[in-house]
């Protein structure tokens, strides 16, 4: 029976008309057949039965640290069908990190890769996990065996709209990771809004090359596909040449900025190879305006950039119809409210004023798992969530992200927003990208430093960059240190990890406030 409160029930109801049609083509496994919607949900129901047989009760957590596979999608759906709370974990997490997550979330069931079973069994036992099952990238494992042993058919466990469907842990770059609690209503409403806003239908074929332990790959790409009855070209990981080849039979791509920069390096990319594509969507990290421009010139398509986060799903999007403005994340999605506030007083600021971004809507999470004090710190009494992002709304309503509040540099009492400086550096000839950070300074509290990745073959010096910025930036904003690296450290979703850069260069101003005469040149 269709239950509008239940995420999995809504997803299945939306795709019932496509039951015999293809859900996913396993692009890198030609020997395996196309997975139909009917087969997907039949396996998910068997998985739900297997989880219940393993001791899962409504509200229990199901933690999964597994490689990307259709069986992993079935595990997600089966967990929610059984009334469980799905907890996907980054496959790069170490044993020590997994130990923290298991101890904090106390899942009833933990699913891991068979090759890691021996290393993780001990920490699972210490956390009191009731059952440990395995699932490999090729779909084999003890979970698959348990699923195969179940009879077909399972009636979704009744859930209320505000019951938890998932917990996603934040990256923890400013402290220990926090578990964002997401409800059935959070995930279902966001999928419905995105399906409508981005015009997804059963005629679409989405290239899915994102990881599925993250909001983008699981709750955006997968849920939108299910909600619209579309089809996936399902890749285990991103490969630029393979994805370029997929475009001949696809209509949409969801990616991070790195996808687009790497595709731009492919000789075959052009208007002819992208002629059948309907939309290119980017998120999870800022898209450089230059990348946006290059993509449009090369393909004739304007990338649609949007803005979301672990705690809220998607908040804003550039318009499907209308100008997709480079350097902005568009407008609030239907039902979502955005306001810009003074970080100190919380007062709402007028357009064109830079401040903290706050969001309210059916997409906003209910709080942090077992952290009521942290939830209270970041949730206003009127329901607005303090995102920690800094932004501005222009006169036409387009929202631009200036940076993270934790990345704000306060030097000599002046507030400095890194993105302003990064934009100028990125426009310099010979610069591929940059990251501007604040480092401890004996006189100013923090000093501005820039880390630059040059274009291949370019040789830049600190003096050249400093001279180029001199007339465009107030003296207090000008970098006092400039470093060159071959690449910037990023997390799995392509976000620059400025915390690692701050740690790497933390002693830059220990000796002197004068510019470093010996700073490295590029090349």
Residue 282's closest CA among 340, 355, 377, 209? 209
- Which H or E run includes 12? helix 7-15
Q: pLDDT at position 284, please?
A: 87
Q: pLDDT at position 235, please?
A: 96
Q: pLDDT at position 175, please?
A: 54
Q: Are strands 445-454 and 431-441 parallel, antiparallel or unpaired?
A: antiparallel
Task: Classify 452 as helix, strand or coil.
Answer: strand
Task: Classify 179 as helix, strand or coil.
Answer: strand
> What order of strands is seen across the sheet that includes strand 367-368?
131-134, 109-112, 61-65, 85-88, 164-169, 179-183, 367-368
Q: pLDDT at position 381, please?
A: 94
* Residue pair 360/337 in contact by the 8 Å Cβ criterion: yes
Alpha helix (H) ranges present in 274-324?
Answer: 289-299
Cα atoms found within 13 Å of the Cα of residue 511, Cβ hemisphere only? 7
How far is residue 336's CA from residue 329's CA, in Å, rounded to a whole number? 14
How far is residue 55's CA from residue 35's CA, in Å, rounded to a whole number? 28
> How many CB atoms are located within 10 Å of the residue 430 CB?
16
Q: pLDDT at position 262, please?
A: 92
Residue 260's closest CA among 227, 222, 293? 293
pLDDT 10s per residue in the chain (523 long)?
A: 568 788 988 888 877 777 888 999 999 887 778 999 999 999 999 999 999 999 999 999 999 999 999 999 999 999 999 999 999 998 988 898 899 999 999 999 999 999 999 999 999 999 999 999 999 999 999 999 999 999 999 999 999 999 999 999 986 544 578 999 999 999 999 999 999 999 999 999 999 999 999 999 999 999 999 999 999 999 999 999 999 999 999 999 999 988 999 999 999 999 999 999 999 999 988 888 889 999 999 999 999 999 999 999 999 999 999 999 999 999 999 999 999 999 889 999 999 999 999 999 999 999 999 999 999 999 999 999 999 999 999 999 999 998 888 888 888 777 788 888 998 999 999 999 999 999 988 778 789 999 999 998 788 999 999 999 988 888 889 999 999 999 999 988 788 999 899 999 999 997 544 443 334 334 3
Q: pLDDT at position 5, please?
A: 84
How far is residue 460's CA from residue 523's CA, in Å, rounded to a whole number? 8
Q: pLDDT at position 416, please?
A: 85
* Residue pair 63/90 in contact by the 8 Å Cβ criterion: no
Quote the distance between the C-alpha of residue 278 and its chain's center. 22
b/e code 359-376 from CB counts within 10 Å (16+ = b): bbbbbbbbbbbebeeebe
Q: Which residues contact 452 (CB under 8 A, 6 or more apart)?
A: 425, 431, 433, 434, 460, 465, 482, 483, 484, 485, 522
Q: pLDDT at position 171, please?
A: 63
How far is residue 96's CA from residue 135's CA, in Å, rounded to a whole number? 20
């Amino acid at each position: 029976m269709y239950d509008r409160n239940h995420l999995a029930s809504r997803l299945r109801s939306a795709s019932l008309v496509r039951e015999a049609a293809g859900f996913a083509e396993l692009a890198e496994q030609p020997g395996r057949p196309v997975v139909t919607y009917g087969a997907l949900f039949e396996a998910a129901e068997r998985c739900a039965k297997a989880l219940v047989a393993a001791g899962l009760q409504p509200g229990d957590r199901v933690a999964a640290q597994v490689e990307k596979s259709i069986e992993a999608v079935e595990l997600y759906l089966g967990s929610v069908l059984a009334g469980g709370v799905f907890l996907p974990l980054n496959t790069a997490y170490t044993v020590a990190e997994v130990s923290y997550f298991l101890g904090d979330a106390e899942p009833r069931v933990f699913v891991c890769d068979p090759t890691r079973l021996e290393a993780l069994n001990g920490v699972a036992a210490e956390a009191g996990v009731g059952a440990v099952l395995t699932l490999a990238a090729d779909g084999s494992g003890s979970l698959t065996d348990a699923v195969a042993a179940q009879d077909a058919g399972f009636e979704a466990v009744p859930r209320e709209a505000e019951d938890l469907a998932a917990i996603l842990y934040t990256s923890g770059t400013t402290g220990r990771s926090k578990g964002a609690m997401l409800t059935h209503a959070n995930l279902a409403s966001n999928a419905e809004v995105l399906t409508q806003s981005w015009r997804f239908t059963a005629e679409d074929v989405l290239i899915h090359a994102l990881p599925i332990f993250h909001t983008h790959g699981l709750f955006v790409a997968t849920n939108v596909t299910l909600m619209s009855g579309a089809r996936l070209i399902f890749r285990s990981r991103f490969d630029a040449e393979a994805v370029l080849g997929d475009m001949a039979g696809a209509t949409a791509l969801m990616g991070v900025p790195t996808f687009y920069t790497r595709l731009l390096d492919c000789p075959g990319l052009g208007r002819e190879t992208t002629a059948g594509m309907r939309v290119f969507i980017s998120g999870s990290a800022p898209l450089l305006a230059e990348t946006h421009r290059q993509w449009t010139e090369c393909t004739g398509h304007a990338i649609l950039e949007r803005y979301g986060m672990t705690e809220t799903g998607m908040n804003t999007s550039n318009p499907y119809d209308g100008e997709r403005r480079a350097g902005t994340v568009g407008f609030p999605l239907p039902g979502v409210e955005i306001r810009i506030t003074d970080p100190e007083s919380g007062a709402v600021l007028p357009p064109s004023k830079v401040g903290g971004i706050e969001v309210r809507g059916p997409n906003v999470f209910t709080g942090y798992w077992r952290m009521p004090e942290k939830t209270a710190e970041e949730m206003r009494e009127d329901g607005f969530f303090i995102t920690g992002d800094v932004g501005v709304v222009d006169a036409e309503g387009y929202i631009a992200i200036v940076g993270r509040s934790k990345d704000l540099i306060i030097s000599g009492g002046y507030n400095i927003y890194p993105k302003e400086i990064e934009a100028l550096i990125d426009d310099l000839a010979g610069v591929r990208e940059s990251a501007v950070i604040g480092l401890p300074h004996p006189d100013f509290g923090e000093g501005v430093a820039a880390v630059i990745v040059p274009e291949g073959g370019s040789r830049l010096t600190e003096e050249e960059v400093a001279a180029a910025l001199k007339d465009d930036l107030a003296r207090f904003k000008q970098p006092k240190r400039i470093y060159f690296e071959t690449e910037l450290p990023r997390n799995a979703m392509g976000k620059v990890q400025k915390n690692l850069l701050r740690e790497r260069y933390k002693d830059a101003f220990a000796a002197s406030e004068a510019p470093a005469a010996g700073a490295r040149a590029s090349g």
